[in-house]
Amino acid sequence: MKFLSGNKKEDLLSRLKKQDPAAQKIFYDQNVRKFLSVARSYISDLYQAEDCVIKAFCKMFKSVESFRSEGALEGWARRIVVNECLNFIKSHKTIFYLDEVNPSVLEEIYEEAVISDFNAQELLDQLPDPYRMVFNLYVIEEYSHQEIASALNISVEASKTQLFRAKEKMRKIYFKQQKKILKNELV
């Protein structure tokens, strides 16, 4: 990998803004695994997630001049990856959101014994797309329910409901997996 002289990030950014292919390769190599992981948290199919990451890199390189250096370049690029994944899901699937859930149920607090040795990606892959999208946006990307509602064209209540249901589904899947592990250890 070619190293940059001086302030590496500023030098890389200036070279990216000049559409320097070597700088694009460096940025790609530094971030592709990280961004693929982000995409996989939204899209369970590896090949579709890879397509989204490639499209996101193309968008990044085309619009890097619009980056205003108000935050980290990686954060700006990550947002593009997330948006590309959301656009993919919107354009390829019909997703139904259920708006209502009893508010008292949302306030229940669960305290369960936690057993380690689990794969978070496996849990996410088992969630229905609406649950996974809202969960990722809220928990990982730290969107507010209002931002999620706006991004997905759903109500704030639907966002809250989907998050609640995602957590419930993940909890059930997790404990089912843990019961299997304990059962296998006892045999």
CATH architecture of 103-186: Orthogonal Bundle (1.10)
Res 93: pLDDT: 60
User: Which pLDDT band, with edges at 50, 70 and 90, does 6 fall under?
Assistant: very low
Above 80 in pLDDT, residue 35? yes
CATH top-level class for 8-92?
A: mainly alpha
- Domain ranges across the chain: 8-92, 103-186
pLDDT tens-digit map of 36-76:
999 988 888 889 999 999 999 999 999 999 888 888 899 99
pLDDT of 109? 32
Backbone phi, psi, residue 100, to 5°: -110, 140
In this prediction, residue 81 carries a pLDDT of 94
Q: In the prediction, which pLDDT does 185 show?
A: 65
The mean pLDDT of 11-15, rounded to a whole number, is 89
Give me the pLDDT at residue 104, please: 46
Q: Which has more confidence, 38 or 94? A: 38
pLDDT tier, 133 (very low <50, low <70, confident <90, very high otherwise):
confident
CB atoms within 10 A of CB 109: 4
pLDDT of residue 10: 79
Q: Which percentage of the chain shows pLDDT scores above 90?
A: 35
Has residue 96 got a pLDDT over 80?
no
Stretch 75-79: mean pLDDT = 92
